[in-house]
């Protein structure tokens, strides 16, 4: 059976959200074991949600709502400017703006709630923080969107519908082991002072930070409630104390920023696991142009304060929309301090930008749409707010010990891989030195080969020249052989003639002819019997035994023995 702690009791706000666990990622690997360990580590990181550390990135959702033309705008014959080319796009004077959804004037309160707000109820019950706030110029429909008519089910706004939905979902849960503690608080930021709407005597409450550096309003009255009726009664009580005034733009213009906070604490009575989710429902005062609202005196001071805080909010949105932001000016205003976790922090946030369709409000509407587009780029980091039991802490401690052990193994593998890498580097350097030496030897051998090639080319040239000389010698030897044959024939003839004419010719003439032939034969014998025949033999066999043969050939001179 579910139980609720009820009663109109004041307690101090206490924060219990643990900070998300941090991780160090290594991105260098050099061995198979290292890769295996690193893969296991990343798998563990990806499964941390099931282990309780469920931090995740969540973009702010932004919706645009356009109200119908009001009586004042109709009386001025002001034109309806916006165009709606798609369900999530609005066009104003040719400029398009895209949101998660654009609500046209015909959209009902229930449709707005179902599309923009209903999902946050389950988020809060799951232990997340949630925020919904309406932004826009004065008289643009913010209070109608957030609050509506509390006693009219059809025209109720987001706040009463969420209140009812929270309790409906709790009662629809299957488990009976959960115990819920639900408390609410309501305060406004008026002229840069935080005022308690449940206790009008508290007019300047301070904003402090918890041990987890989450801002909260210290001393705000918190009421424990057990059903939707009690919460709606608390809403009515706070509404009576809120600052409103009549201006030219709105008869019931909100002169302050109202924050209604619902905190749902739950505990599992079997495991003693605790979760806590907060929901901020914010109705902002509208930005004002003094010339249009016609305010003066105290109302003028209020308008200046409102515009200043909204300007601070716009600056925070602008800073958060830049990727390389270095500073976000949350402390410039009480409003931005209260909404710090909702903007860039631990909260699932929805913004509804409310606009007027009238041409006379075109500049304010464009400014509102630009604000919404910048807010769409902001991403929050959300985590479940849990208070763990001793057993759960032990389990997580063991899991963290195992993770540390794995990380140490990774580091050891990394160091070992570094050592192996150094050894490989040294071996590589030695191999490089060896290759350099081999390259030097190869260069020396190449030089020797080039020298041998030059010698071979020179020898080929010598051989070619000697071949020519051999051919000349062969021709000359052939001629000399013919001459010998002729001389031999001549001697033979002379011999024959000598026998027949011995009596006829004088012996002196015969002796003279014989002497001449013998001298010529002697000359031929000397010519072919000595060095020439050896040179011919050398050339024929390919041997060169003396430099005297090569030298005249290289110099291009003719052997004197063969001249003429």
Buried b (16+ CB within 10 A) or exposed e, 330-359: bebbbbbbbbbbbbbbbbbbbbbbbbbbbb
Domain end residue (candidates: 334, 368, 387): 387
Domain end residue (candidates: 323, 352, 387): 387
Please tell me whether residues 476 and 509 are part of one structural domain.
yes
Q: CB burial class (10 A; 0-12, 13-18, 19+) of residue 530? A: exposed
Please tell me whether residues 475 and 523 are part of one structural domain.
yes
Buried b (16+ CB within 10 A) or exposed e, 300-311: eebbebbbebbe
Please tell me whether residues 216 and 125 are part of one structural domain.
yes
Please tell me whether residues 336 and 218 are part of one structural domain.
yes
CA distance 312 to 6: 38
Residue numbers of the domain that contains 61? 57-387
CA dihedral 362→363→369→370, nearest 10 degrees, is 150
140 annotated as ligand-binding? yes
In which residue are the tokens 């057990």 written?
226
79 annotated as ligand-binding? no
CA distance 64 to 340: 22
137 annotated as ligand-binding? yes
Please tell me whether residues 500 and 367 are part of one structural domain.
no
In which residue are the tokens 């949101």 written?
99
Please tell me whether residues 141 and 239 are part of one structural domain.
yes
157 within domain boundaries:
yes
Q: What is the pLDDT of residues 370-425, one digit of tens each?
A: 999 999 999 998 888 887 777 777 888 899 999 999 889 888 888 888 888 888 88
431 within domain boundaries:
yes
* Enclosing H/E stretch for 109: helix 109-116
203 annotated as ligand-binding? no
In the prediction, which pLDDT does 105 show?
Answer: 96
Please tell me whether residues 447 and 521 are part of one structural domain.
yes
244 within domain boundaries:
yes
42 within domain boundaries:
no
- Those residues of the chain that have pLDDT short of 70 are 1-55, 244-253, 288-296, 498-511, 513-514, 517-518, 520-564
In the prediction, which pLDDT does 219 show?
Answer: 94
In the prediction, which pLDDT does 244 show?
Answer: 64
Domain end residue (candidates: 352, 387, 422): 387
143 annotated as ligand-binding? yes
309 annotated as ligand-binding? no
Please tell me whether residues 104 and 63 are part of one structural domain.
yes
Q: What is the pTM of this model?
A: 0.62
306 within domain boundaries:
yes
DSSP-derived secondary structure for 487-504: HHHHHHHHHHHHHHHTTT
Q: Residue 318 sits in a domain of what CATH number?
A: 3.40.850.10
27 within domain boundaries:
no
The pair of three-digit structure tokens given for residue 556, joined into one six-digit string: 């291009």
Q: What does each C-alpha distance from 161 to 118, 351, 397, 460, 470 come to in angstroms? A: 9, 17, 41, 112, 126
Please tell me whether residues 501 and 529 are part of one structural domain.
yes
50 within domain boundaries:
no
N- to C-terminal Cα separation, the chain: 144
Q: What does each C-alpha distance from 165 to 91, 185, 231, 268, 450 come to in angstroms? A: 34, 18, 12, 21, 98
Please tell me whether residues 216 and 316 are part of one structural domain.
yes
In which residue are the tokens 């160091």 written?
415
Please tell me whether residues 421 and 362 are part of one structural domain.
no
Q: List CB contacts of 280: < 8 A, sequence separation 6 or more.
A: 129, 130, 131, 132, 133, 259, 260, 261, 338, 339, 342, 347
Q: List CB contacts of 513: < 8 A, sequence separation 6 or more.
A: 494
Q: How many domains does the chain have?
A: 2
Which runs of E-coded beta strand occur in 71-205?
83-86, 89-92, 95-98, 101-103, 130-135, 178-190, 193-196
Beta bridge partners of 135: 353
Q: What does each C-alpha distance from 135 to 18, 87, 250, 342, 355 come to in angstroms? A: 31, 20, 16, 14, 9
In the prediction, which pLDDT does 521 show?
Answer: 63
345 annotated as ligand-binding? no
Please tell me whether residues 270 and 412 are part of one structural domain.
no
In the prediction, which pLDDT does 39 show?
Answer: 54
460 within domain boundaries:
yes
238 annotated as ligand-binding? no
Q: What is the pLDDT of residues 294-308, one digit of tens each?
A: 666 777 777 788 888
Chain centroid offset of residue 503 CA? 134
């Amino acid at each position: 059976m579910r139980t609720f702690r009820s009663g109109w009791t004041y307690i101090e706000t206490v924060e219990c959200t643990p900070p998300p666990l941090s991780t160090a990622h290594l991105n260098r690997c050099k061995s198979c074991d290292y890769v295996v360990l690193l893969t296991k580590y990343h798998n563990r990181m990806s499964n941390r949600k099931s282990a309780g550390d469920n931090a995740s990135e969540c973009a702010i959702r932004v919706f645009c709502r356009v109200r119908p033309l009001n009586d004042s705008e109709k009386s001025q014959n002001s034109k309806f400017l916006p165009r709606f080319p798609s369900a999530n796009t609005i066009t104003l004077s040719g400029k398009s703006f895209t949101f998660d959804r654009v609500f046209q004037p015909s959209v009902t309160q229930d449709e707005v709630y179902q599309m923009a707000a209903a999902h946050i109820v389950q988020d809060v019950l799951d232990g997340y923080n949630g925020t919904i706030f309406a932004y826009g110029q004065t008289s643009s429909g913010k209070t109608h969107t957030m609050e509506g008519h509390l006693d009219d089910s059809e025209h109720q706004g987001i706040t009463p519908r969420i209140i009812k939905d929270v309790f409906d979902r709790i009662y629809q849960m299957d488990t009976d082991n959960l115990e819920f503690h639900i408390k609410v608080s309501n305060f406004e930021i008026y002229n840069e002072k935080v005022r308690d709407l449940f206790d009008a005597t508290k007019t300047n409450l301070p904003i402090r930070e918890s041990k987890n550096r989450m801002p909260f309003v210290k001393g705000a009255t918190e009421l424990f409630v057990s059903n939707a009726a009690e919460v709606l009664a608390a809403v009515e009580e706070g509404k009576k104390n809120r600052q409103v005034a009549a201006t030219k733009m709105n008869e019931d213009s909100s002169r302050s920023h109202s924050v209604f906070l619902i905190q749902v604490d739950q505990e599992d009575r079997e495991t003693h696991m605790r979760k806590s989710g907060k929901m901020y429902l914010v109705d902002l005062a509208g930005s004002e142009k003094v010339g249009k609202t016609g305010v003066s005196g105290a109302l003028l001071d209020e308008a200046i304060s409102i515009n200043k805080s909204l300007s601070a909010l716009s600056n925070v949105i602008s800073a958060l929309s830049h990727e390389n932001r270095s500073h976000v000016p949350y402390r410039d205003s009480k409003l931005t301090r209260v909404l710090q976790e909702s903007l860039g922090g631990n909260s699932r946030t929805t913004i509804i930008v409310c606009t007027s369709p009238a041409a006379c409000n075109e500049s304010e509407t464009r400014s509102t749409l630009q604000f919404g587009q910048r807010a769409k780029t902001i991403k929050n980091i959300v985590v479940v707010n849990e208070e763990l039991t001793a057993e759960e802490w032990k389990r997580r401690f063991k899991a963290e010990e195992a993770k540390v052990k794995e990380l140490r193994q990774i580091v050891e593998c990394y160091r070992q891989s570094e050592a192996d890498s150094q050894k490989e580097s040294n071996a590589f350097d030695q191999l490089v030195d060896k290759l350099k030496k081999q390259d030097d030897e190869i260069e020396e051998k190449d030089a020797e080969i080039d020298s041998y090639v030059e010698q071979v080319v020179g020898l080929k040239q010598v051989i070619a020249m000697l071949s020519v000389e051999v051919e000349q010698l062969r021709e000359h030897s052939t001629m000399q052989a013919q001459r010998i044959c002729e001389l031999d024939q001549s001697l033979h003839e002379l011999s024959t003639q000598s026998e027949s004419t011995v009596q006829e010719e004088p012996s002196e003439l015969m002796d003279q002819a014989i002497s001449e032939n013998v001298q010529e034969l002697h000359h031929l014998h000397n010519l072919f019997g000595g060095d020439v025949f050896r040179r011919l033999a050398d050339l024929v066999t390919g041997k060169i035994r003396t430099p005297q043969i090569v030298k005249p050939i290289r110099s291009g001179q003719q052997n004197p023995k063969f001249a003429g």
